[in-house]
Structure 1
Amino acid sequence: MELSDFQKFLSESFLWVEGLAAIIALLNYKPLKNQYWRFFIYYLILIFLSEILGKWGGLYFSFSKAKYYNYLIIPFQFIFFYWLYAVKSFDNYRLFYWFSALYISSFLVSEIFFSEKKIYFSFNYTLGCLLLMFLVLKEYYNQVNSVDILNFSRNKMFYINLGVTLFYIGTLPFFAFYSLLKDYSTIWDIYFGYFLVSGIVMYLLFSISFIWGKQNY
C-alpha cells in the first residue's frame, strides 16, 4: 500500500526519534552503569541499530524483512519487556519464564495453523500484546497503590509504562486484524497513522524517563 507524504514523514521521524532515545540513554549511562537500567540503554541502542539494518541493510545484502522482524526484532522486544516488568519491576522470575515460554510457543501454533505468508504474524503479535497488557495493568496497579504515587514523575517506569500502553496496547487491533484491514484503506490509514504517532510518542517518553525519571532502584 502506497504511503502518503505525511506517512512517509512520520515513518522517517519514527526512526530518528528512536535514535534520539538511544543517544539520550547513552548520555545517561554513567550514573546508571551499576543499575539494571543499563540494560534498557542497551535495548534502545540495539533497537535503533536493528531499525537501521532493516531500513538500509537490503542495499548491501539480500534478506527477508518480514522474517527479520517476525522472528528476531519483534520477539526480542516482547521478551525484553517481559523481563523488565516481571523480573525487574515485580521481582518475579517465574512470571517472566512463563510469559516468555507462552509467547515463544505461539510461533509453533502459528506455523501449524497459520502457515500462509503474512507481513506480520498477527497471532503471535496478539498473544504477545495480551501478555504485555497484563504486565502493564499490574504495573499501573502497583504505581497507584505505591506510597510514592505523589512522586510518579520521578519514576522511570511511569513513562515507560505509558509509552508501552500507547504503542503496543494501542496498536493491538491494527496488527491483530492487519490482513483484514488491508482491504479497507481508510481504516488502515487511520490505524497506521496511529501506529507511527504512538511509536514516536513512546520513544519520546523513553527519552523523558532518563531526563525526568531520576528515581533510584
Structure 2
Amino acid sequence: MGDFQRIVQELMFWSEGFAALISILYYQRIKNEYWKFFVFYLVFAFVSESIGKWGDHFIEYNKQAFYNYFVIPVEFLFFYWLYAAKSFNKPKLFFILSFIYLLSFIPGEFFYPPNKVMFSLNYTLGCLILMILVIMEYYKQINSSNILDFGKNRMFYINLGVTLFYIGTLPFWTFFELLKSYREIYNIYFAYFLISGVVMYVLFSISFLWGKQNS
C-alpha cells in the first residue's frame, strides 16, 4: 500500500467517525423517527472499523471472519430495511431480500475458507440486491412531486453515497482475487474504493445537516 492509499484509508476511517459523531449530535431531533436507527448503524460501522483497526492489540480474533460473518451482513441488512421497509414501505420485500441474501452463505461455506479476505459470492449478491433497491429509489425520487427539493431529501444523499461506494466497488470485490495479479488496475480500483468511502460518509453526514424526513 502506497503513502497516498494509507492517507486516504486514514481519512476514510475518520470520515466514518465524523459521520457517526454528526448523527449522534442530531439524535435528539430524530429520536422519535425511524432515522434514529441510521444513527445506530453509523455508530455500529465506526465501532466495527475501530475493532478492525485496533482490536488485535487487545484480543485475538479472526478479522476476516468478523467482517464476512458479522459486519458486512449487518450493514447489508440495514440498507435492505432502510430502502425496502421504510423508503418503499414494503416490509415483506425486506424479509424476502434478506432471506435470499442470507441463503448465499450456504454455498459460501463450501467454497470459501474462514480467513478469506472477502466472500465474493455473498458480497456480489448483496450488492446486486442493493443495486436494485438503489435504482428503485432513484425512480421514486425522479417521479416524486418534490423532485425540485431533492436537496432536502435525506435519502438522496444516502442513495448517492451507496451508489458510489457499494455499487461502484462491486467489480473490485467480485473479481478481487483476479485483480491482485494486475497490480496497476488493483491499485487504481483500491484507491477508488477508499475515496468513494470518504465521499459516502461525507454524504451521510450531509444527510443529517441538510436532509429532512424522506417524503
TM-score, normalised to structure 1, is 0.96
Segments of 5+ residues of structure 1 without an aligned counterpart are: none
Q: In the alignment, which of 6, 9, 33 is matched to residue 7 of structure 2? A: 9
For the pair 1:137 / 2:132, whether they are aligned, the reply is no
The equivalent residue for 2:154 is: 156
For the pair 1:186 / 2:184, whether they are aligned, the reply is yes
Amino acid at match of 1:208: I
The equivalent residue for 2:168 is: 170
For the pair 1:39 / 2:30, whether they are aligned, the reply is no
- How far has the Cα of 1:94 moved from its partner? 1.1
The equivalent residue for 2:96 is: 98
Instruction: State the distance in 2 between where 1:208 and 1:68 align.
Output: 29
Q: Where does 1:7-156 land on structure 2 (aligned, <5 Å)?
A: 7-112=5-110, 114-116=111-113, 118-156=116-154
- How far has the Cα of 1:216 moved from its partner? 6.0
Where 2:81 maps in the other structure, the secondary structure is helix
RMSD between superposed Cα atoms in Å? 1.0
- How far has the Cα of 1:67 moved from its partner? 0.3
Instruction: State the distance in 2 between where 1:115 and 1:163 align.
Output: 29
Instruction: State the distance in 2 between where 1:6 and 1:34 align.
Output: 42
Amino acid at match of 2:30: L
> What count of residue pairs does the alignment treat as equivalent?
214
Where 2:184 maps in the other structure, the secondary structure is helix
- Residue 163 to residue 216, structure 1, CA distance change in 2 (3 Å): closer
Instruction: State the distance in 1 between where 2:154 and 2:133 align.
Output: 16
Q: Is the 8 A contact 2:154 2:214 kept in 1?
A: no
Identity among equivalent positions (%) equals 57
Amino acid at match of 1:155: N
Instruction: State the distance in 1 between where 2:41 and 2:194 align.
Output: 20
Amino acid at match of 1:115: Y
Amino acid at match of 2:179: L
Q: Where does 1:189-204 land on structure 2 (aligned, <5 Å)?
A: 189-204=187-202
Instruction: State the distance in 2 between where 1:118 and 1:32 align.
Output: 39
Segments of 5+ residues of structure 2 without an aligned counterpart are: none
